[in-house]
A and B are shown apart, each in its own frame.
Chain A
Amino acid sequence: MEWETVIGLEIHAQLATKSKIFSCASTAVGAQPNSQASAIDLGLPGVLPVLNERVVEMAVLFGLAIRAKVAPSSVFARKNYFYPDLPKGYQISQYAEPIVSAGKLEIRLADGTIRIIDVTRAHLEEDAGKSTHEGFAHSTGIDLNRAGTPLLEIVSEPQMHSAEEAVAYMRTMHRLVRYLGICDGNMQEGSFRCDANVSVRKSGSTQLGTRTEIKNLNSFKFIERAIEHEVERQIEIIENGAKVVQETRLYDPDLDETRTMRSKEDAHDYRYFPDPDLLPIRISEEYLASMARLLPELPDRKRQRFVAHYRLSEQDADLLCEETAWADYFEQTVEISKADPRFSARWITGELFAALNRANLSIENSPLSSTSLGKLIARIDDETISGKIAKQVFDRMWETGESPDEIINLQGLRQVTDDSVIERLVIQVLENNPQQIEQYKSGKDKVFGFFVGQVMKLSEGKANPSQVNQLLKAQLDKAP
Chain B
Amino acid sequence: MTIYPDTVAGIANALAKRELSSVEITRHYLDRINALDRQINSYITICEAHALEQARAADRRIASGQGAPLTGVPYAHKDIFCTKGIRTSCGSRMLDNFISPYDATVTEHLNNAGMVLLGKTNMDEFAMGSSNETSFYGPVANPWKFDSVPGGSSGGSAAAVAARLAPCATGTDTGGSIRQPAALCGITGLKPTYGRVSRYGMIAFASSLDQGGPMATNAHDCALLMNVLAGFDAKDSTSVDHPTEDYSATLGHSIKGLKCGVPKQYFDKSLDPAVAASIRQAITELESLGAQCVEVDLPSTELAIPSYYVISSAECSSNMSRYDGVRFGYRCRDPVDLQDMYTRTRGEGFGKETKRRILIGTYALSSGYYDAYYTKAQQIRRIIQQDFKNALAEVDVLLGPTSPTVAFGLGQKSSEPVSMYLSDIYTTAINLAGLPALSMPAGFVDELPVGLQIIGDFFSESKLLQIAHQYQQVTGWHLLAPPLGG
Contact partner of B82 (CB less than 8 A), chosen from A42, A45, A82, A271, is A45
The segment from B270-278, B360-368, B418-426 found at the interface with A is: B360-368
A82 lies within 8 A of B238 (CB) = no
Residue from B90, B208, B324 within 8 A of A276 (CB atoms): B208
A140 to B374, CA, bound (A): 36
CB-CB under 8 A from A45, the residues of chain B are 82, 88, 90, 95, 98, 100, 203-204, 322-323, 328
- Taking the complex as formed, is A50 at the interface, i.e. its CB lies under 8 A from any CB of chain B? yes
Interface membership of A87, Cβ < 8 A: yes
Q: A271-B367, A273-B365, A277-B238 are in contact. Are A89 and B102 (CB under 8 A)?
A: no
Instruction: Return the contact of A273 from the options B81, B82, B328, B374 (Cβ within 8 A).
Output: B374
Q: How far is the CA of A140 from the CA of B326 in the complex (A)?
A: 11
A88 touching B202 by the CB < 8 A rule? no
Tell me the residues in window 88-105 of chain A with beta carbons closer than 8 Å to chain B beta carbons: 88-90
B81: A residues at CB distance < 8 A? 46
**Chain B proximity of A132: nearest CB distance (Å):** 14
How far, in angstroms, from A363 to B98 measured CA to CA in the complex?
Answer: 51
B207 at the interface (CB under 8 A from A): yes
Which secondary structure characterizes the binding site on chain B?
A: loop
Q: How near does chain A come to B193, taking the closest CB pair, in angstroms?
A: 16
Say yes or no: is B359 at the interface (Cβ < 8 Å to chain A). Answer: no
Judge whether A50 and B235 touch: CB under 8 Å.
yes
Nearest-Cβ distance from residue A82 to partner chain B, whole angstroms:
6
Checking B234, B318, B328, B362 against A50 with a beta-carbon cut-off of 8 angstroms, the contacting residue is B234
B318 x A46 contact (CB < 8 A): no
User: Does B321 lie within 8 Å of A269, measured CB to CB?
Assistant: no
B96-126 CB contacts (< 8 Å) to partner A? 98, 100-102, 104
Given contacts A82-B324, A87-B322, contact A47 B200 (CB under 8 A): yes
Given A45-B90, A80-B365, A276–B322 Cβ distance below 8 Å? no
CB distance from A22 to the nearest CB of B (A): 9
A39 to B102, CA, bound (A): 8
* B314 part of interface (Cβ distance < 8 Å): yes
Query: In the complex, what residues of B have CB within 8 A of residue A387's CB?
Result: none
- List residues of chain B with CB within 8 A of the CB of A48: 199-200, 204, 235-238
Chain B nearest CB from A183 CB (Å) reads: 25
Interface size of A as a range: 20 to 34
- Whether A277 and B207, one on each chain, are in contact in the complex, defined by CB atoms closer than 8 angstroms, is yes
Looking across the interface, which residue of chain A has its beta carbon closest to that of B327? A42
From residue 314 to 360 of chain A, which have CB atoms closer than 8 A to chain B? none
**Residues of B with C-beta under 8 A to A80:** 318, 321, 365
CA distance A89 to B325 in the complex (A): 11
> In the assembly, what is the distance between CA of A49 and CA of B362, in Å?
22
Chain B residues at the A interface, C-beta cutoff of 8 Å: 81-82, 88, 90, 95, 98, 100-102, 104, 199-204, 206-208, 234-238, 314-315, 318, 320-324, 326-328, 338, 342, 362, 365-367, 370, 374
Q: List 21 A-B contacts (CB under 8 A).
A: A43-B327, A44-B100, A45-B328, A46-B199, A48-B200, A48-B235, A48-B236, A49-B237, A50-B236, A50-B237, A82-B321, A82-B324, A84-B324, A87-B326, A89-B320, A140-B338, A271-B370, A276-B206, A277-B237, A278-B238, A279-B238
